[in-house]
Amino acid sequence: MPKPDFDPECWLDTLSALMDVDIAAGDRAGVVVNLAVAAQMAELLMAFELPDDLEAAPHFAP
């Protein structure tokens, strides 16, 4: 779960104003839901601890 102080509606209002993007009233609920889901995914990623001595690979080869 995202931190309790995360408010996707506030983020939507703030970022859409900052970026000068109009969100249609009919799309607002879907955007808020997607922001909440993105916050949940970010919380999972940020909870994964990486060792301090980890180095990024200089080249990715699958």
For the stretch 3-60, pLDDT in tens is 568 899 999 999 999 999 999 999 999 999 999 999 999 999 999 998 999 888 888 8
Tokens standing for residue 39 = 């916050």
Q: What is the pLDDT of residue 1?
A: 55
Q: What is the pLDDT of residue 4?
A: 66
Helix-helix angle 25-47:8-18, to 10 degrees: 110
Rounded Cα distance between 18 and 49, Å, is 32
The owner of tokens 């980890």 is: 54
Q: What is the pLDDT of residue 7?
A: 94
pTM for the predicted model, two decimal places: 0.73
- Give the percent of the chain with pLDDT over 90: 71
Would you say 61 and 19 are in contact if contact means Cβ atoms under 8 Å apart? Answer: no
